[in-house]
Amino acid sequence: MKLVYFAWVRERIGLAEEEVTPPDSVTTVHELLDWLKTRGEEYAEALKYPEAIRVAINQEHVRQNEPIAGAREIGLFPPMTGG
Amino acid sequence: MKLVYFAWVRERIGLAEEEVTPPDSVTTVHELLDWLKTRGEEYAEALKYPEAIRVAINQEHVRQNEPIAGAREIGLFPPMTGG
Amino acid sequence: MPCRIAVRIQSEPFDTAAEIADIGRGDSDVGAVVTFSGLCRDEAGTLAALEIEHYPGMAEAEITRIAEDAAERWPVSALSVIHRHGRIGIGEPIVLVVAASRHRQAAFSAAEYLMDFLKSRAPFWKKEHRVDGSAGSWVDAKEADEQAISRWE
Amino acid sequence: MPCRIAVRIQSEPFDTAAEIADIGRGDSDVGAVVTFSGLCRDEAGTLAALEIEHYPGMAEAEITRIAEDAAERWPVSALSVIHRHGRIGIGEPIVLVVAASRHRQAAFSAAEYLMDFLKSRAPFWKKEHRVDGSAGSWVDAKEADEQAISRWE
């Protein structure tokens, strides 16, 4: 699946997007965040406060307990400041 | 004092404004309306439903129980439909 | 900072964009501008235009009083109101309210308050011009407009 | 009549007057047009500009969803939203919401609803550019914006 990062999540991870294949044990957004944190210093730093991370699956907002099955694209970003 | 009329009050009375000198017994707006109704058919028709008449003294809204002492200009008109 | 209040009664059309640009000018602290445009509307397809009569002097004074009340209730930095009189064709603007503030809710509330009071307190009256040339009638005041005021009390 | 919804995300400035004119065009039943313009604001005098990042695709989709919700709640005939991205100078418009309706309260409510949800649901992020050239920080989301949503529930 494709992960896309925005704002300070993107800056801290150092990537705008990437393809990942999490292990089968990763079934929810929350588990995905935990798994990502194991992928390196910059991920651990970017995702240190998971409650500050907003998530979209296939470009729709979801909560962190949402299953990720069927997700083509998951967006991770800080609280939005539009308008 | 000067009376000014607007919209259908003006049309029914047939005047946009006039100078009047009501008798001393006329002390409130309500009494002024009653007195005006005695001045002719067109006044009686225009002021037939006093609850439909809005009043301004010196260009400020007042209720019909307001005293008219000190009034330089009294406006009589239907409910407003601005905006 | 006191609120800048501008009230104009005129027969000419106005330039909404210029009014919006004016109200933010030279004030880098304005984050929100809300406008309300009231257009001449033809409900039944029988209307050619509206003729708007007003009480000169009182119209300006009353709208200014309403704007001052709004400026006391919400932290707005500028309020502008333009109200036209005379003949207004279908689709043309009749009234424009512009409210500027640091905060969007203040700008929204001030504009809405102004329009609510303007509708039933500002001395303007509308008469219809019919498409078929027959004499139109005076537009009746709406009970809903009178009631709209009570929610601000 | 269904509500016409138009959503545009662009880096270019927009012409507010043209947007207002467009929304009323060919619809003689529109009596009320409410606009909200959100301008780039400099609170402390230290800001040179804002850089606005967005999630392409999702930004349009999410604003469209918010507009559709608004159109279900109030009888609006048209809703337009333009949101800019990229570098925006102080005083420049960032976002424009235009709501058209027969009734002013519907237009006001729809515009206010749209802005409230847009603030904390549309995927945009603001980064500061400082006057002194130093690296600015990402603008924090405001608790007040999150709370503004709850009044519509």
* CB < 8 Å to D107, chain C: 36
Q: For all residues of chain C together, what is the average pLDDT?
A: 92
3-state secondary structure of D127: strand
* CB < 8 Å to D142, chain A: 81
Q: Which residue of D has its CA nearest to C14?
A: D17
Select from C15, C36, C45 the Cβ nearest to the Cβ of D34. Answer: C36
pLDDT tens digits, one per residue of C8-24: 999 999 888 888 878 87
Angle, CA of C123, C125 and C127, to the nearest 5°:
170
Tokens of A3: 């992960």
Pairing of strands A73-77, A54-57: antiparallel
Choose among A69, A56, A60, A77: nearest CA to A1: A69
Q: What phi and psi, each to the nearest 5 degrees, are found at residue A50? A: -60, -25
Over range C52-66, report the average pLDDT. Answer: 98
- Quick check: D82 pLDDT over 90? yes
d(CA C40, CA C91): 5
Q: What kind of fold does domain B2-77 have according to CATH?
A: Ubiquitin-like (UB roll) (3.10.20)
Among all chains, which residue has been given the structure tokens 């003729």?
Answer: C51
Q: For all residues of chain D together, what is the average pLDDT?
A: 92
Over range C141-146, report the average pLDDT. Answer: 88
In DSSP terms, A56 is beta-bridged to A61, A75
Q: Do A56 and D61 touch (CB under 8 A)?
A: no
Tokens of B16: 């946009």
d(CA D52, CA D128): 9
What local confidence, expressed as pLDDT, does residue B35 receive?
98
Q: Which residue of A has its CA nearest to D83?
A: A83
D33–C contact, CB cutoff 8 A: yes
DSSP for B27-64? -BHHHHHHHHHTT-HHHHHHTSSGGG-EEEETTEEE-T
CA atoms within 13 A on the CB side of B4: 18
Q: Do D24 and C39 touch (CB under 8 A)?
A: yes
Select from C61, C95, C146 the Cβ nearest to the Cβ of B83. Answer: C95
3-state secondary structure of D98: strand
pLDDT tens digits, one per residue of C83-124: 999 999 988 899 999 999 999 999 999 999 999 999 999 999
| pLDDT tier at B11, thresholds 50, 70, 90 | very high
DSSP state of C80: E
Q: Do C119 and B82 touch (CB under 8 A)?
A: yes
C102–D contact, CB cutoff 8 A: yes
What are the DSSP E strand ranges found in C55-123?
A: 76-84, 86-89, 93-101
Choose among C107, C82, C78: nearest CA to C93: C82
d(CA D32, CA D13): 25
pLDDT tens digits, one per residue of D10-68: 999 988 888 887 887 767 778 999 999 999 988 778 889 999 999 999 999 999 999 99
What local confidence, expressed as pLDDT, does residue B82 receive?
93
Residue ranges of chain C whose CB lies within 8 Å of a chain B CB: 38, 53-55, 57-58, 61-62, 83, 94-95, 115, 118-127, 138-142, 146
- Percentage of chain A beyond pLDDT 70 is 100
In Å, how far is C48's CA from the nearest CA of chain D?
Answer: 11
pLDDT tens digits, one per residue of C38-49: 999 887 788 899
- Is residue D101 within 8 Å of residue D32, measured between CB atoms? yes
- Quick check: C1 pLDDT over 70? no
What local confidence, expressed as pLDDT, does residue D153 receive?
86
3-state secondary structure of C81: strand
Choose among C139, C141, C54, C137: nearest CA to C95: C54
Q: Distances from the Cα of A46 to the Cαs of A34, A41, A77, D58, D143, in angstroms? A: 12, 9, 10, 22, 21
Pairing of strands A73-77, A2-5: parallel
Q: Distances from the Cα of B71 to the Cαs of B32, B56, C96, D122, D140, in angstroms? A: 12, 10, 32, 58, 58
What count of residues does chain C have? 153
Select from C35, C105, C115 the Cβ nearest to the Cβ of D35. Answer: C35
d(CA D19, CA D39): 16
DSSP for chain A? -EEEE-HHHHHHHT-SEEE----TT--BHHHHHHHHHTT-HHHHHHTSSGGG-EEEETTEEE-TTSB-TT-SEEEEEPPP---
d(CA D63, CA D53): 15
Torsion sign, CA atoms A15, A16, A19, A22? positive
What local confidence, expressed as pLDDT, does residue A26 receive?
98
The count of CB pairs under 8 A between chains C and D is 97
C143–D contact, CB cutoff 8 A: no
Question: Along the 83 residues of chain A, how does pLDDT read in single tens digits?
Answer: 999 999 999 999 999 999 999 999 999 999 999 999 999 999 999 999 999 999 999 999 999 999 999 999 999 999 999 99
* CB < 8 Å to D139, chain A: 81
CB atoms within 10 A of CB C105: 18
Select from C53, C119, C122 the Cβ nearest to the Cβ of B7. Answer: C53
Q: What kind of fold does domain C4-150 have according to CATH?
A: Aldehyde Oxidoreductase; domain 3 (3.90.1170)
In Å, how far is C93's CA from the nearest CA of chain D?
Answer: 9
Select from C31, C34, C43 the Cβ nearest to the Cβ of D34. Answer: C34
What count of residues does chain B have? 83
D42–C contact, CB cutoff 8 A: yes
What local confidence, expressed as pLDDT, does residue D134 receive?
81
Q: For all residues of chain B together, what is the average pLDDT?
A: 97
Choose among D93, D7, D38, D107: nearest CA to C39: D107
d(CA D26, CA D23): 9
